[in-house]
Structure 1
């Protein structure tokens, strides 16, 4: 269904006029709205798209560093901070596409802190040629995914406490001020409309029941043949189960409590334990998923209805059904369910951390101190081991 002042009951990829040739499509997410899936499909099909006049001018499926740099964001916990050079490289790659159509996608553009940054992004990527796309899903489906993603970046707060802070504790900015910056979708659209105007912004409401719907919408808007964009399997992007997330969250508590260096978190936890666990272990039917309590789902639906009404009043093109944003999803009965980590999952996570540490060979090892392991407190031992591993990684 397409909404633009008038609404027509047609399939999402039917009756949608493609962008004019030479358009520079900027997909800004936000997070957890199918971004990884579409980025993987676009990158995998970049050569095939080029044959149809559409370029994907990035060296990887997701130019995250460029988006973080221009938005002055620090990046993931423990990662090196992106620099202006990352952004300048992407701008040059887009400019090199000349008069051809091109597409850039990063959900981190949704983190642009102010109008000046938004205007800069639009100006340097092509000015009047830039068309902004925003993809949306219901908040009730975004919240559990976003919480476990925050946990993967060091968050220590449990899910229900986090929901309390996001929905019931003004000004709703702790512990993650980025959440409403990204997911107060009406204000997100409003910020970008101020830069490009309503005629150059398209909102796509993602329908999770139609697995290929987002791919077909991109194809229609870019003038690509139906079926050109296909999902790319990516186990590293799967959501964590409740047990996996809770294991990681409690590790975060210990990590922070022992004041270990953030670089260790990036190398040993995120890209070691968590990445290996995701790749090696697929969730089974008995694994407990992250459960959103009814009060939070209903509160999210009310906010979704308000956001849908405000977006409709802005005059932007809306593809899909805005009513999905205010629907309360069916909630499973979670009474009595307790997350239990499978020993195999725990073993794979531990192996991933050990493998990451082993990848940094020992060089110029300092003499061993006279105090033995048995004479060292567990807290001091963790600190020592952490700093030693960090030194190895830096030498590597």
Structure 2
């Protein structure tokens, strides 16, 4: 293993990145003893937030946070990467569709290190439903039908992050192909993804024995439709803030609605031909590129469901499952409100005065 190597894991989103990043975090001390570093700023800063902010700063984005909240995070990350005596890893999926100017800055700032690019990729049959419901959790309002139409036109952020030839052509433009590593996400849910990831990073799996229980779980059709309808009622500025992230994306969607059992979001049957065509384009590009592929290229082909399996249109959810999701959401938010401490639940003076006037009528 090179003593001056940096691995940039640039995505893609919805390819097990939450799990992989959490496992790196849990095993950071053990990995460091073997010369592999997953940087954090300090004990008071969450490691994954540090990587997120570094990525935001490199991209020149705020993503709904306070303006400038990520300023300086990229330079802080670079200092950590350059100080490390062995190999280092930076991981965040929002880096996948980075513009050329950001990539050029990253390569310049890491000059003197042996830079490697790692990109995890999943078949579009699973990826697109996961990406749509994730976008809804992030505050978007579009229907699944609209989302898929725009993906096929190549317009939304998610598809730019999933467009394998485009992503790797940009990130690998100035690197030899053997320093670009593509990890295919297996169809089965077991240790295979982690083992492939370790191979791409040239690390021994035994150096990271602590498993992670983190899983960015998907929502079902009823739960996704509920959040989408909620998003339509909430002003855009509120859907892009920290409060929305805490209450809707994390508390409501991730911690509560994702636990419900309802029909999963699946790719529409008439969309499989396009997804299969894209898979073949990706496979042909990888074969001709000479990049290092870890896994099976056949994992990139979407698997059609059995002919007798019913498909549930997530844009047309009936009242009963939607009501069930809504009641569970109301219960979760009621419990959350009950745990809030004053003054969070205290009415403002103007509201109290208005309430007294109403009671006096």
* TM superposition score normalised by structure 1: 0.76
Match of 2:13 among 16, 31, 35: 31
Q: Does 2:208 correspond to 1:232?
A: no
C-alpha displacement of 1:86: 1.2
- What is the correspondence of 1:43-192 to structure 2 with a 5 Å cutoff? 43-59=25-41, 60-62=47-49, 63-75=51-63, 77=64, 80-97=67-84, 99-113=85-99, 115-167=100-152, 170=153, 172-173=154-155, 177-192=156-171
Structure 1, unmatched stretches of 5+, are 1-18, 376-396
| 1:63-112 deviation per Cα after TM superposition (whole angstroms, max 9, x unaligned) | 1111011112331x456554331111111111221x31111111111131
* Pairwise CA RMSD: 3.1
Count of residues in Structure 1 that have an aligned counterpart in Structure 2 = 342
Structure 2, unmatched stretches of 5+, are 42-46
C-alpha displacement of 1:366: 5.6
1:334 paired residue number: 311
1:283 paired residue number: 259
1:205 paired residue number: 184
1:321 paired residue number: 296
The alpha-carbon distance between structure 1 residues 274 and 38, as it changes in their structure 2 partners (threshold 3 A), is same
C-alpha displacement of 1:128: 4.4
| Matched residue SS, 1:131 | strand
Match of 2:328 among 341, 345, 357: 345
Question: How far apart in 1 are the matches of 2:214 and 2:335?
Answer: 18
> Does the 8 A contact of 1:68 with 1:82 survive in 2?
no
> Does the 8 A contact of 1:186 with 1:310 survive in 2?
yes
| 1:120-171 deviation per Cα after TM superposition (whole angstroms, max 9, x unaligned) | 112213454111111111112111111111112221111122212322xx4x
| 1:286-320 deviation per Cα after TM superposition (whole angstroms, max 9, x unaligned) | 41111211121331121111122112211111111
1:42 paired residue number: 24
The alpha-carbon distance between structure 1 residues 157 and 349, as it changes in their structure 2 partners (threshold 3 A), is farther
C-alpha displacement of 1:273: 3.5
1:193 paired residue number: 172
Question: How far apart in 2 are the matches of 1:268 and 1:301?
Answer: 39
| 1:320-369 deviation per Cα after TM superposition (whole angstroms, max 9, x unaligned) | 11122123342641259744334652234423774697676489956459
| Matched residue SS, 1:194 | coil
| 1:182-206 deviation per Cα after TM superposition (whole angstroms, max 9, x unaligned) | 1111111111121323121111111
* TM superposition score normalised by structure 2: 0.83
The alpha-carbon distance between structure 1 residues 374 and 289, as it changes in their structure 2 partners (threshold 3 A), is farther
